[in-house]
Chain A
């Protein structure tokens, strides 16, 4: 009899817990309201290599260079053509709900190095009614180079613009390789502006060139 009573009480407690928990979860379900992306362009200078001495041009190069040397003077200089790109811009009442101060960030860096951008290289502003509690999630859309230069090599130091930077930068999650999820970065309400400083590590194996990804910010409330 006592055992039955204990069991019933336990079941009742679980039921109450589920009911209360379910109600509170329902109260905190947030929906995606807006999403923006800041393009990150990294111009990579190749890692320096030791001078192995003067290596002569291959013979076929020299033949090609001689052929070019005798190239005609009347070679067609250039050809040009154009495409018109057009759009009608309409108002967006929510255009200022989530925005950045710049559309993109350009970083020039040498392979095999780690460096930080200027402090507060871009800002992210959330501007909702004061009573609105929101969550701002972040992440990169993709790696720079799959498997050899992951997006996790980009760290972000995100802090309230009026405050002080975090002690260290934390790696971005990468949506395309981290289970299609974003990282809950900030929780607040009303209007808030964050500074972001980036720290980027470029593996020495990365060839010179231009590489891009997007820092994506998604607002939920």
Chain B
């Protein structure tokens, strides 16, 4: 819209100048705005063969996702895990970002809360949930591949107590350390997750969950 307004102003100026061609010449300041574009697509379970495997060296087991997972959607469902168990979740998240910012963008990723069963039981997200790079169509990671932990956000979460059925949002006063920094305007990131269940995680008949919130900000 602004571009059209700018174009109209230029045309009008040209007409006025045209009618007074004898008035002389002078500099014309041209200004325009470029509307920002930021498109972010987040896809869980982005490749066939998604799902959790127990941490082991050598030959890797076949992933067995929980019922809450589905191809290129739903949740990253580790299924039934045991206390003190360690797991790798293959093809957990694909982040696809498009901007027109010449300086690229930054990605932040945090837990909106600790793991909760929706009742009184919980265990910390930091020290339990980790992320690591994966491939678009192949994955050689194991449950012992080096990774970085997710932290519980210090931003303002809405709703303040996240619910199972709908994704919360995070409002930041100050952003945390970025998960990724891209100098390119468009980029893709592929992630696996690791879950290290604390030995003290309370056993519950309800599903534990945490929403991992990704935020993309142009630089």
Question: Which residues of B pack against A, CB within 8 Å?
Answer: 2, 31, 33-42, 44, 55, 57-58, 66, 68, 75-86, 89, 92-93, 101-103, 112, 115, 127-130, 143-149, 164, 167-170, 193, 195-199, 201-204, 207-218
One digit per residue, 1 when the CB lies within 8 angstroms of any chain B CB and 0 when it does not, for chain A 21-44 equals 000000000000001110101000
Q: Do A64 and B102 touch (CB < 8 A)?
A: yes
CA distance A37 to B54 in the complex (A): 13
Q: Do A212 and B147 touch (CB < 8 A)?
A: yes
> How close is B167's CB to chain A, nearest CB, in angstroms?
4
User: Which residues from A are CB-within-8-Å of B57?
Assistant: 175, 180
> How close is B103's CB to chain A, nearest CB, in angstroms?
6
> How close is B186's CB to chain A, nearest CB, in angstroms?
13
CA distance A36 to B87 in the complex (A): 11
User: Which residues from A are CB-within-8-Å of B66?
Assistant: 86-88
One digit per residue, 1 when the CB lies within 8 angstroms of any chain B CB and 0 when it does not, for chain A 65-77 equals 0011011101111
> How close is B197's CB to chain A, nearest CB, in angstroms?
6
User: Which residues from A are CB-within-8-Å of B79?
Assistant: 87-88
Output the nearest chain B residue to A80 by Cβ-Cβ distance.
B215
CA distance A86 to B204 in the complex (A): 13
Q: Do A89 and B38 touch (CB < 8 A)?
A: no
**A167 proximal to B (CB < 8 A):** no
15 contacts between A and B (CB under 8 A): A41-B148, A75-B218, A79-B39, A79-B216, A80-B40, A81-B213, A82-B112, A84-B211, A85-B212, A89-B82, A90-B83, A91-B83, A142-B146, A180-B58, A216-B144
Q: Do A89 and B102 touch (CB < 8 A)?
A: no
CA distance A200 to B55 in the complex (A): 26
B92, B112, B167, B196: the one contacting A103 at CB < 8 Å is B196
User: Which residues from A are CB-within-8-Å of B211?
Assistant: 82-85
Q: Do A214 and B144 touch (CB < 8 A)?
A: yes
Output the nearest chain B residue to A100 by Cβ-Cβ distance.
B199
